[in-house]
Amino acid sequence: MEVILENFPVPEEFKKIDEIIEDIKKRSGKEKENTEVLKLIFNCIDLTSLNTTDSADGIRKFVDKVNDFASDYPQMPNVAAICVFPVFASVMTNTLKQENVKKAVVSAGFPSSQTFTDIKKLETQRALEFGADEVDIVLSVGEFLEGNYDFVYEEITAVKSVMNNAHLKVILETGALKEPDEIWMASHLCMEAGSEFLKTSTGKQQPAATPEAFYVMAKAAKAFYDKTGKKTGLKAAGGISTTEDVLVYYTIIKDVLGDEWLNNELFRIGASRLANNLLSDIFTIEKGEKTEIKYF
């Protein structure tokens, strides 16, 4: 970790992060009526079902909604991905007909990450064998906070080693990381370990996603890109449900990383309620009258 911090010193600007985020929030509202921006954001959603009550039949119906969306709303792009528990990877794979929608699972002892490393690898490998092409895992937060950085790094690389060409997203659970310096260090550790995406949170712990944490992650991704040439995606997840909420995260990406990050290869939103709210706002703007859509 000392070497990482030598290569990537913590930016001084984080001391004024509250002021930075306040300015971003003020500016983000300017895009509220821009349906092209809202459609782009919709196309970056990982539509998620991670409920204790999920079942095979329930996931089939969930996936069929995504299948039908293209014909029901031909003027809209589809979501970026579907995200489910790994036990439903085969159901998702066998049901999904939309080739441009990725198949994601949470894995490796989600959401606490408190299980054996070999179990994390096996769970991930099984999900990939059943058709998943993206995997979201959780950083071993307790070990990170104890300073066991080598363990955390090696565990991520161990999971990555069984993934072949599938994309790995590592969830930092930023609500447990109290200082920007910790989020900065965790971000760089995960990127060094091979994660293609950094994700804010599981949504199972509060606080979940915050603009402050996401800003630090974006700055880390920018610093890593400037030094290595490798682009790391960013995913905000947990508690993002309104157009106003998500536009803050969109503006952070635009400010820090630029337009080339504003696509679903490098920007994702983990949300379910957001999808319906975005649809409602888009069609309210386009029709010129209040429209409420409850599709998903």
Q: Which two tokens stand for residue 288?
A: 């010129």
| 219 counts as catalytic | no
- Sequence letter at residue 125: Q
Return the C-alpha torsion angle 204, 210, 215, 216, nearest 10: -60
Beta-bridge mates of residue 137: 170
Q: Considering 103, 121, 160, 199, which one is annotated as catalytic?
A: 199
Count of residues in the chain: 296
- Nearest by Cα to 269 from 230, 231, 243: 243
| 39 counts as catalytic | no
In 1-144, the DSSP E strands lie at: 45-48, 81-84, 102-106, 134-138
| 72 counts as catalytic | no
Q: Considering 46, 133, 136, 245, which one is annotated as catalytic?
A: 136
Q: Which two tokens stand for residue 21?
A: 């985020």
SS3 234: strand
Beta-bridge mates of residue 247: none
Q: Considering 102, 219, 235, 254, which one is annotated as catalytic?
A: 235
Based on its alpha-carbon atoms, the radius of gyration of the chain, rounded to whole angstroms, reads 18
Q: Which two tokens stand for residue 210?
A: 């915050």
Beta-bridge mates of residue 102: 81
SS3 104: strand
**Which active-site residues does the annotation give?**
136, 199, 235
